[in-house]
Structure 1
Amino acid sequence: MADNGIGTSKLDNSTFITQSNLECKNLYDYLKTRPPNTLERLYNHPAICLAVYRELPELARQYVIRILFVEQPVPQAVVASWGSQSFAREHNYVTKVLTELNVWMEGSLPGGLIGWILSPTFKRNLKIALLGGGKQWSMSSALEPDKNARDVSFLDTYSSERWECVLHYMVGSQQQEGISADAVRILLHAKLMKRDEEDGSPVITRQGFQFLLLDRQAQVWHFLLQYLDTVEQRGLDLVECLTFLFQLSFSTLGKDYSTEGMSAGLLIFLQHLREFGLVYQRKRKAGRFYPTRLALNITNSQNKNAPLLEEDSPKGYIIVETNYRVYAYTDSNLQVALIALFTELMYRFPNLVVGIITRDSIRQALRGGITADQIIGYLKQHAHPQMLAADQKQTLPPTVVDQIKLWELERNRLTYHEGVLYSQFLSQADFNVLKEYAQSNGVLIWCNKEKRTLVVNKNAHDEVKKFWKKYSKGS
């Protein structure tokens, strides 16, 4: 029998599909990729400890709060006994999360038992965040009254306009203001845009199409993560920028904060946040700034009741009819450009755009990387109040929803699996033994009895290989 490691004919296709889709990380996914020394520096700040604690799964938060004031390791068996055995999978998962985030660590007990104890740095600063005390944050609110004070409605309008400049640039619609070369570099780094092969100008990518249909909070968080990947190249301190971002998420909307005491790197970071609409500052040297709604609770994905911007609120503008026509009551070039991603526009009036959903328009959107669920979700999110009437069980016409999904299924007729090819068996008996082993373990992808060839799941290759060696020695 020959083990052909190169027999992964579908490996390249599977890898291509994975890399072409937009990967939206949450706070846990991002922090677990940071080295331990970076996490240790981050946990020196109460704001970060509190944000991490809020983002933990509910069971993990229970574990942390129960051992927060315990000064010695708690036996692992005791921690496991706090939950029912039917939730053993959840227990294993949260144990993995807390370990990867360096929130807790293993500790030895008398008698050789192993227990869990919170990281000293995380424990100390989480106590400060929950109970008060500690050093003053770099964002100080000790300021004289601002003679040019801004109210919440002004900040909402400002943040919406600044963020929409980025989205306008991505869809290539007409706009009055452009974005800086620095923001363009972030879009290119995030692979939301790429350089055109002919003229070198930035054009939107498959991931960029998917990005446009995300909700506003998810867009900002993903964009900031891509920015943070480049802060060290700019000569900025990642920990310092992350700390300020977390502190910003706990700020009060409509309140001004002083820039006094900020380092030169933080002041540069503040100007970048100003461009993206996360903070408002009248002048660079104004000495104060106002956090906007975009910056509030930015890391809190579990907070479904976070305040929304006006354009993200339930007051939608889209009506979808059973004949596949779409009516968008808007005069925003950005919203029109988003509708055009998956519809064929028919008419445009000063405050109304009429389009139709067709097989070709949906297939074009699918080729751009947009999924059927994203299209349906966008239409639901921005549905007109008349479509949200209480007597209607479904927001969108079921015929339209089902047809969009069917058009997507037309393109998803093949499923790719990474596999390893086994061939050139010396006898039919050898082939049958390995085939039965792979089949019984659920790792057999394909087999051919006549040619004595089979393909097993790539992840199970090592186990299958060990079994074959053991069988070969025994026979």
Structure 2
Amino acid sequence: MSESSKSKLSLKLNPSPTLQCKNLHEYLKSRTPQFLETLYNYPTICLAVYRELPELARHFVIRLLFVEQPVPQAVVASWVSQTHAKEQSKACEALSELSVWQEAPIPGGLPGWMLAQSFKKNLKVALLGGGRPWSMSSSLEPDGKARDIAFLDAYALERWECVLHYMVGSAQTEGISADAVRILLHAGLMTRDAEDGSAVITKAGFQFLLLSTAKQVWLFLQHYLHTAEKRSLSAAECLAFLYQLSFSTLGKDYSTEGMSNNMLVFLQHLREFGLVYQRKRKAGRFYPTRLALNITCVSDAAGPGPLLSAGQARGHLVLETNYRVYAYTHSSLQVALLGLFTELLYRFPNLVVGVLTRESVRQALRGGITADQIIHYLEQHSHPQMLKSESGGIRATSVLPPTVVDQIRLWEAERNRFTYTEGVVYNQFLSQADFTALRDYARAAGVLTWQSERTRTALVTRAGHDDVKRFWKRYNKT
């Protein structure tokens, strides 16, 4: 009888991880009910959660806000017509995930809904007034060295770009704190090199650099909150203070009087990251910057942040149909970002010229950046002149040349044209009959991945290998 020689082929596909930037709803959904209960003791958080709820969920909350007893679930369902059943289901799911309401029994055994007591109480405070005043609401004497909005924007940009410069390995890394480095490592945006122990950027870090500023700050702060307990800080108290800042007025100074020692420590960390400006540590006042006010603007539709380098236009990139990219900027950070997916050709004091090539884009793809992220970055930072480009009467969905956009996607598709399956190869059959018998058995069992009659080779899945192996042993004994 013939024998088969089996060689194992293990091919694994390791897709690049996609960096997830959770909004407030997704972030809170991942926390424990006990944490949410603590969080709802702060009116600012209750107001922020209410604003993030779906429209129909907000409608339910308002209707139940002044009801002191459970309302039958059937009654709540009757508030919405059947044509909007899907929206109703999403609203109920959101309220349950965030522990905004809870199931409560009604006399007679009917199920009912009732708002969580702490959420109801503190949302009333936020909407109607009352409660304890915010610690930062104390009145202040006029500041003799008041800072205007332009100064605050420049300060926030300088401090935040210090973090980004560190990530891209730029020489301009003076002033970054050890705490910020620890957060970057904890978030997986950077890792320690095995040889010299230096911090190097990861695939997730490449994706992080192409996010909008608001998303970057919010993602960074999420990981800060995850490690807050190690600094003897309360994550709930820190998050509440962040949302107090988000409701503040840009350009106005606020008092530190009445703030606890922990919050004063947290304030210094925010100062290092550029979310607040404080002239000196013991100053009795601070100014929230635009970074603090924009932590809620993390939706996909959110455009680039308003923080821009001095002298840099809102859009500074021009992309031509010959794949050349012209960047009108003198920011070394913008140049480093451009170098992630282009081949840089020339650099002048206020202009950088690069070209999109197959190899430069594939290098970015290997680093974990997707074609959509490259295209989105180019669209976000397109020069206003790109909006005036002629399209030959064709209605374009993007300001970028469609040929370049299509080519970037095709370069990405090149890497995805193969589907990898882990399996076992059966070959070197001594007769066609032996090959046919094993192939037909594997096909009938639904574990045959590929076969070639000419070379007498069959590939079966890893899960089906043991079954096919037992069949082959039985077949050889007959």
State the TM bucket, normalised to the shorter chain.
Answer: 0.7 to 0.9
Moved over 6 A (4+): 303-307
Conserved? CA contact 2:329–2:350, under 8 Å: yes
Paired position in structure 2 for 1:335 = 334
Q: 1:117 to 1:300 in 2, by over 3 A?
A: farther
- Give the Å deviation of 1:414: 4.5
Q: Decide whether aligned partners of structure 1 residues 148 and 304 sit closer, same or farther in structure 2, where only a CA change above 3 A counts.
A: farther
In the alignment, residue 400 of structure 1 is paired with which amino acid? V
Q: Does 1:138 align with 2:135?
A: yes
Q: Which amino acid aligns with 2:115?
A: L
Please give the secondary structure, in 2, of the residue aligned with 1:450. helix
Tell me how far apart the structure 2 counterparts of residues 65 and 303 of structure 1 sit (CA, whole Å): 28
For 2:412, the equivalent position in structure 1 comes to 408
Would the alpha carbon gap of residues 314 and 347 (structure 1) be closer, same or farther in structure 2, given more than 3 Å must change?
closer
State the alpha-carbon separation in 2 of the partners of residues 88 and 360 from structure 1.
50
Gaps of 5+ in 1: 1-8, 419-446, 456-475
Are the aligned partners of 1:174 and 1:333 in contact in 2 as well (CA < 8 Å)? no
The Cα offsets for residues 7-52 of structure 1, whole Å up to 9 and x where unpaired, read as xx99x957x537x321211111211222222211111111000001
Q: Which residue of 1 aligns with 2:74?
A: 77
| CA deviation map 1:278-297 (0-9, x unaligned) | 00000000111100000014
Q: For residues 453 and 243 of structure 1, what CA distance do their matches in structure 2 show? A: 55
The one of 293, 296, 303 equivalent to 2:293 is 296
* Cα distance in structure 1, aligned partners of 2:161 and 2:198: 20
Partner of 2:350: 351
Name the residue aligned to 2:457: none
Aligned-pair distance for 1:59? 2.0
Among 399, 405, 409, the alignment partner of 2:403 is 399
The aligned counterpart of 1:435 is none
SS at match of 2:291: coil
Deviation at residue 80 of structure 1 after TM alignment: 2.3
Match of 2:124 among 123, 127, 130: 127
* Gap change, CA 1:290 and 1:306, over 3 Å in 2: farther
Look up the match of 2:463.
Answer: none
Task: Check if 1:381 corresponds to 2:380.
Answer: yes
Cα distance, 1:416 vs. partner? 7.7
Q: Deviations over 1:93-126 (max 9, x none)?
A: 2222211211001112232211111111101111
User: Is residue 324 from structure 1 mapped to residue 328 from structure 2 by the alignment?
Assistant: no
Taking the aligned partners of 1:321 and 1:38, their CA distance within structure 2 comes to 51
Secondary structure in 2 aligned to 1:376? helix
1:249 corresponding residue in structure 2: 246
Q: TM-score, normalised by structure 2?
A: 0.82
Report the residue type matching 2:413 in the other structure.
Answer: L
Range that drifts further, 216-225 or 131-140 = 131-140
User: How far apart in 2 are the matches of 1:68 and 1:454?
Assistant: 60
Deviations 1:212-261 (A, max 9, x none): 00001000000000111111011111121111111111111111111111
Unpaired runs of at least 5, structure 2: 1-8, 423-440, 450-478
Q: Give yes or no for contact 1:169–1:178 (8 Å, CA) kept in 2.
A: no
- The 3-state SS of whatever aligns with 2:89 is helix
Deviation at 1:406, TM superposition (A): 0.7
Contact persistence 1:274–1:280 (CA under 8 A): yes
Q: Which moved more, 1:261-270 or 1:308-317?
A: 308-317
2:248 and 2:350 map into 1 onto residues whose CA distance is 37
Query: Are the equivalent residues in 2 in contact too, given 1:327–1:354 (CA < 8 A)?
Result: yes
Q: Secondary structure at the match of 1:59?
A: helix
Q: Distance in 2 between matches of 1:40 and 1:137?
A: 20
Give the 3 Å change call, closer, same or farther, for CA 176–188 of structure 1 in structure 2.
Answer: closer
Following the alignment from structure 1 to structure 2, what is the Cα–Cα distance between the partners of residues 31 and 127? 21
2:59 is equivalent to residue 62 of structure 1: yes
Residues 366, 189 of structure 1: alpha-carbon distance in 2 compared, 3 angstrom cutoff: same
* 1:153-183 Cα deviation digits (max 9, x unpaired): 1000000110000001100122162411111
| Residue in structure 1 matched with residue 278 of structure 2 by the alignment | 281
> Contact conserved, 1:359 with 1:407, CA < 8 A, in 2?
yes
SS in 2 for 1:108: strand
Q: Give the secondary structure class of the aligned counterpart of 1:91.
A: helix
Contact residue 250 and residue 297 of structure 1 kept, 8 A: no
Q: Which moves more between the two structures, 396-405 or 87-96?
A: 87-96
Contact 2:214/2:291 (<8 A) preserved: yes
Name the SS of the counterpart of 1:24 in structure 2. Answer: coil
Tell whether the 8 Å contact from 1:55 to 1:300 is kept in structure 2 after alignment: no
Change (3 A) 1:346 1:452: closer
Offset, 1:308 = 4.3
1:148 CA displacement: 1.1
**Counterpart of 2:468?**
none
Separation in 2 of the partners of 1:314 and 1:250?
Answer: 28
User: How many angstroms apart in 2 are the aligned matches of 1:417 and 1:31?
Assistant: 37
Residues 77/417 of structure 1: CA separation in 2 closer, same or farther (3 Å cut) = farther
AA aligned to 1:166 is V
Q: CA deviation at 1:89?
A: 3.0
> 2 CA distance for matches of 1:112 and 1:138?
45
Name the % identity: 68
Q: Distance in 2 between matches of 1:141 and 1:390?
A: 53
Provide the aligned length of Structure 1 versus Structure 2.
417
CA RMSD of aligned residues (A): 2.6
- CA positional deviation for 1:302: 5.6
Matched residue SS, 1:116: strand
Report the counterpart of residue 360 of structure 2 in structure 1. 361
* Pick aligned residue for 1:30 from 27, 45, 48: 27
Q: CA 1:414–1:306 in structure 2 vs 1: closer, same or farther (change >3 Å)?
A: closer
Query: Is structure 2 residue 444 aligned with structure 1 residue 450?
Result: yes
2:339 maps to amino acid? A
The answer on whether the counterparts of 1:253 and 1:292 sit within 8 Å (CA) in structure 2 is yes
Letter in 2 for 1:222: L
TM-score by length of 1: 0.82
CA distance change for structure 1 residues 114 and 300 in 2, over 3 Å: closer, same or farther? farther
Q: Residue 334 of structure 2 aligns to which amino acid in structure 1?
A: Q
Deviation at 1:132, TM superposition (A): 1.2
Q: Does 1:43 align with 2:47?
A: no
